[in-house]
Structure 1
């Protein structure tokens, strides 16, 4: 299957050398020096081998493209988030760690193993032809060669062997899983008492000095800091912008109308009723003659009294589908009926009755009851529609011509957008933007790539236009920063009321915790739970409205002697006292024993595998540069 690649390996090397060498010469010493910086900067290192910024960017692009293909409606903002970029880096680091482990541990995958997996694993069915060979054409459509496919498959199998011994080691019996899940799903009866900071707010009177100190505390800076903001001008080149500048003559519109007249013609439909006397096409001549004679009798009858057609059809037609409706077939276009029937129906005038018509079904008597359609909309009725279509078509051609001019002009005359606006007759718009797109942002202002360019050093410090950014199909935008405000602190007087309220809340929370702690000590001493709220049952899957910190404290409380009292700061300034009064078994319906045993084994296996992977990272001296983390975070700032 992969013999051709192996046998011609030297040929492939020669071809690569021929392709790469001229590019290297053209690149020159200066280009090579540039290459060694920027994109070639290390963002991580594994076993002495670095991962470059360019490799990270490429891995993130590939991951983003896979997600777009799987989820076409995915918000593009999510793909440019710091979290998404970090996941791409983590995946790349994991791949390199396993590659290094394969080399150190000398894992080998034989050709027979590769072939067996390829022929038997269902995930490769799409690229496996019926004879078991590789579908090279399909791979090529995805930008992959046979040798790339074999290499990736072999590498993947080798990396899988590194972790297989650990990932398959978990054995979870019913007893172990039952104990684990009994503890996890355990229910507890509890009574609560909440000490709220609101009870103490009136007692708090912070001084001006305390307010100022709270405001200047570095730990509180983020609460009051004003965001980084850029005032920008921007121009958009898209079909809408070009449609308005395209001139279309009346003659062009009328020519288009004539060339596409069929589009503006409503297809004719006819409504008819019929009487059918069945005669299969394979019937004998005698049977056909008998059927025709019967049809002729009925024709004579309805010709004498056309208004009786429906009654005659109900009583005599052998078409079970239409007889009950008086033979009515509703409206039908050309092509819907057998040809002899259609030809006869489209030759009639309304209310006219046909002669006997023979088809493969038998003999018909047809009455045309109505005609609709067949009319062509006049030019004036569709002029606006045609004008829009013609302008859009011309705008698409013009966009292809002007997109390069747009990109070059904003780059070459980078101190202003006026030149490109005047040259292409585009309007200059204004906006106030931050590094992240606003929740309600639309069009170019929702483009993370544009905002990244806006907040670049070149745009802010050097006052240059951004590059032309494609933010949608046939849509380009460029921006220019007219004013920039970095992250900054407001004057205390401007936010004093806000600072005071936050300080009051903090000091009231301190008093609440103090009062709650004293109350907890008294309850522990007395063991009296009557002062607490009515009992309720809680568990990890029935938390109700309890904050996570409170629920965890309740479930971790010592149940050796009941009631068991615990106190915890709820995270919102309140102090919650809980008295565990009873331990209840888990609800048997919560989890199936067989499934829980499987889940327990999977969780155990995943934990062991993760621990082993972390050990490998340490053994291979894996490091992620601080700059990589900063770059990832900067995307979302």
Structure 2
């Protein structure tokens, strides 16, 4: 059974669980349960850290989403990367602020509601019914305990409560909905003349004097950026593998640890009867539930069928209909109280009443499946790989420390570091603060190279960890300050800019000339009016028409309604040219039907709730102290 669960988790069910657990991972970050308290923070919200691990995980998730959206092609420009960093960090801050709010304001999800949500998840169901073994195995497969998952999911549902409250406060009447319907469904009859800059480019003449004047007035646009060339030493864990000798004694010790862990994975097939009792129930209610469970235990001890009582009395819908059958269970799958009781039973025995966070259990152990460790010889290759990986990790850590200490203390540049560790001093040609090649493609390297202590004081950098098992120390060898480029280098660029500007002026002038003729009564399709333009007849369109130029639509739908039989005109600037828009008629829609009003109400409520939530979040942020890590 566990194998089938494993297979499903790798396939379609794996995709489902990633999506379902994605909210939890995205909202609270895996750093909550993987990182230590001493880790550096990326931001701090009222004294609570958002760790660098959480931030890095968020960046990885964002990159994966973008790569999926754009088939693996995402911009690597510094500006794009910085914008992505800002978005990820602000999202994490928003999540932490919301978490603080739901904790402070007492948003709570009752156990019954939480368990119902979990039981209703399709990912945890087998043949349409909740399957407890699938639930535990799949959650554990995502690197979480069920308790951790429940806590995170409970928080997610509490945030949803807050968002639902905001949505319910958004109210709109039928009068407003009819106005909204008229705005959305109104149609306008539109034609326009399009004047393209490219048609006016041929007659443009740009003189050397104009180029020089533009260059002198805009030198800040034509700068060679500040740049540095560096030398560096590089430590890679992959280069350390050849130096690792295999120690047979150490392999035996690793095997003993493995064998011990396997023996602890004994599986037990169990049944249970659950009488649920919320953690916040009164003492009287708790006693009542315990007595109910105790009465069932007495009936079982008197010879009644455990399976029949489970079907009739158990409050666990996932197992009750199967006579309380939980399938095969291993350590770590159940809550501690349940597990302790189960692993003290002999085969066929029934436990006393066991209290857990879910309520009161009666447990029966049906079968025991002992696990068998593989032989040392069959595991040896894996043990060698494990041993070497650990030795490489330790060796890399030791050498990184030597690398850092020597670089800090040495007055000989990188030579002493290279000699002590047997590394080669490498060089890298000029790169800027925002862009580089080789190792300088990594923002950490550029940041270190332009740090004042390295750039100005001529010191070696600190150890820069580029990736797991990959570190460098660098030193600036040459620093080139920003300077203005030679006119000859940018002359063609300036000429193109001025040519485009003059062509734009001519297309605008032609559009204004056409407007004047139209206002004098000339027809839009007359040769005199359209001689340097192309005429586009849109006809009757709505404001969300997908085929029309969106800039034209936007301007046309804010034009004043023309009088009957007349037309209105306006000149607008377009990307690559200009346009003269002619509005000939405005047609109002009929009043919306009740069904249409209902659809509009939902649409408006969702959009307005999103805007309101942004306002709420902005206010909540203003009420807490937020600190950002400047070196991020």
TM-score range, shorter chain: 0.5 to 0.7
Aligned residue in 2 for 1:116: 116
Aligned residue among 402, 410, 413 for 1:416: 413
- 8 A Cα contact 1:230 1:481, kept in partner: yes
Partners of 2:111 and 2:424 in 1: how far apart?
61
Change (3 A) 1:125 1:566: farther
1:152 deviates by 2.4
Partners of 1:99 and 1:239 in 2: how far apart?
40
- 8 A Cα contact 1:187 1:537, kept in partner: no
Change (3 A) 1:595 1:100: farther
Aligned residue among 383, 396, 409 for 1:403: 396
Uncovered stretches (5+) of structure 1, i.e. residues with no partner: 1-22, 28-34, 248-391, 587-592
Aligned residue in 2 for 1:434: 432
How big is each residue's C-alpha offset from its partner over 1:510-564, in whole Å with a ceiling of 9 and x where there is no partner? Answer: 45434533432332232421233344438655446x5x43453245444545543
In the superposition, the TM-score normalised over structure 2's length comes to 0.53
Aligned residue in 1 for 2:516: 521
Answer yes or no: is 1:578 the counterpart of 2:581. yes
Partners of 2:160 and 2:238 in 1: how far apart?
52
User: SS of the residue aligned with 1:517?
Assistant: helix
Aligned residue in 1 for 2:83: 83
How big is each residue's C-alpha offset from its partner over 1:70-91, in whole Å with a ceiling of 9 and x where there is no partner? Answer: 7799679879922322222332
Aligned residue among 219, 222, 225 for 2:223: 225
Partners of 1:595 and 1:206 in 2: how far apart?
65
- 8 A Cα contact 1:409 1:419, kept in partner: no
1:227 deviates by 2.9
1:488 deviates by 4.4
Change (3 A) 1:474 1:159: closer
Aligned residue in 1 for 2:55: 60
- 8 A Cα contact 2:188 2:583, kept in partner: no
Aligned residue in 1 for 2:92: 92
Change (3 A) 1:479 1:570: same
- 8 A Cα contact 1:447 1:471, kept in partner: yes
Change (3 A) 1:467 1:239: same
**What aligned pairs does 1:352-363 form with structure 2 within 5 A after superposition?**
none
Aligned residue in 2 for 1:343: none
Aligned residue among 573, 580, 605 for 1:569: 573
Partners of 2:389 and 2:427 in 1: how far apart?
22
Aligned residue in 1 for 2:194: 193
Q: Which is greater in Rg?
A: 1
Partners of 1:568 and 1:97 in 2: how far apart?
44
**What aligned pairs does 1:256-405 form with structure 2 within 5 A after superposition?**
403-404=396-397
Aligned residue in 1 for 2:315: none
- 8 A Cα contact 1:56 1:89, kept in partner: no
Partners of 1:110 and 1:571 in 2: how far apart?
56
Partners of 2:153 and 2:482 in 1: how far apart?
49
Deviates more, 1:104-113 or 1:392-401: 392-401
Change (3 A) 1:123 1:559: farther
Change (3 A) 1:620 1:77: same
1:56 deviates by 6.0
Aligned residue in 1 for 2:446: 451
- 8 A Cα contact 2:231 2:425, kept in partner: no
- 8 A Cα contact 2:568 2:584, kept in partner: yes
Change (3 A) 1:105 1:565: same
How big is each residue's C-alpha offset from its partner over 1:38-69, in whole Å with a ceiling of 9 and x where there is no partner? Answer: 94875xx6xxx366xx5263432232354578
User: SS of the residue aligned with 2:511?
Assistant: helix
- 8 A Cα contact 2:191 2:581, kept in partner: yes
- 8 A Cα contact 2:573 2:579, kept in partner: yes
Partners of 1:472 and 1:50 in 2: how far apart?
29
When the two structures are aligned, how many residues end up with a matched partner? Answer: 430
How big is each residue's C-alpha offset from its partner over 1:423-467, in whole Å with a ceiling of 9 and x where there is no partner? Answer: 4253624233334456xx5x6444333333333344323434444
Partners of 1:153 and 1:111 in 2: how far apart?
11
Change (3 A) 1:451 1:486: same
- 8 A Cα contact 1:191 1:578, kept in partner: yes
Partners of 2:424 and 2:94 in 1: how far apart?
48
How big is each residue's C-alpha offset from its partner over 1:582-626, in whole Å with a ceiling of 9 and x where there is no partner? Answer: 77999xxxxxx9999998566423322222223323543628999
In the superposition, the TM-score normalised over structure 1's length comes to 0.52
Partners of 1:236 and 1:565 in 2: how far apart?
67
Answer yes or no: is 1:182 the counterpart of 2:185. yes
1:161 deviates by 1.2
User: SS of the residue aligned with 1:81?
Assistant: helix
1:487 deviates by 4.7
Aligned residue in 2 for 1:482: 477
1:164 deviates by 0.6
Uncovered stretches (5+) of structure 2, i.e. residues with no partner: 1-35, 245-384
Partners of 1:597 and 1:447 in 2: how far apart?
54
User: SS of the residue aligned with 1:109?
Assistant: coil
